[in-house]
Amino acid sequence: MSVRDDISASMKSAMKAGKTERLSAIRLIMAKLKDADIAARPRGVERIADDEVLGMLRGMIKPRREAIELYEKGGRPELAAKEQAEIAVIEEFLPRALNEDEMRDAAKAAVAATGAASSKDMGRVMAALKAQHGAALDMSRIGAIVKDELAG
């Protein structure tokens, strides 16, 4: 079952259960997915692949986290809670992310496996990590960890 199928099935179950907030968040995801599909048509793609869907979902989280911070600073906890609820729904469709220790272990293994010796080899290490762990990695955090491994 693809991520797209999971999203559709969740939308149907939210409709049947009458969960309006959840349904609203899933509809936002579906709208973003439709926009991504439309944007991919010029390159001859009818529907984006699962890895692109996961990237799209991750991209939906960052602006919500930024909005939460602004709402909390502005004294609007109800709006921050709404954004947090949307993040929770989006994260349901993402694979479990590696924690800090797991990322450090994965980085060490990738450095050893690729024979990387300096920061010049970072691209090779990152490619190996992405191939092995894919969607479970937070690419911004793993980049810093790989730099540390290659420097030390």
Rounded CA-CA distance 116/151 in Å is 11
- Quick: pLDDT tens for 117-131: 888 888 888 888 888
Residues 64 and 127 in one domain: no
Q: What does the mean pLDDT of the chain come to?
A: 90
Q: Which residues contact 74 (CB under 8 A, 6 or more apart)?
A: none
Asked if 77 and 106 sit in the same domain, the reply is no
Distance CA 125, CA 122 (A): 5
Question: Do 15 and 84 belong to one domain?
Answer: yes
How far apart are alpha carbons 14 and 7 in whole angstroms?
10
pLDDT in tens, 56-115: 998 899 899 999 999 999 999 999 999 999 999 999 998 887 888 888 898 889 888 888
* Same-domain check for residues 17 and 71: yes
Range of the structural domain that residue 130 is part of: 100-151
My answer on whether 14 and 76 are in the same domain is: yes
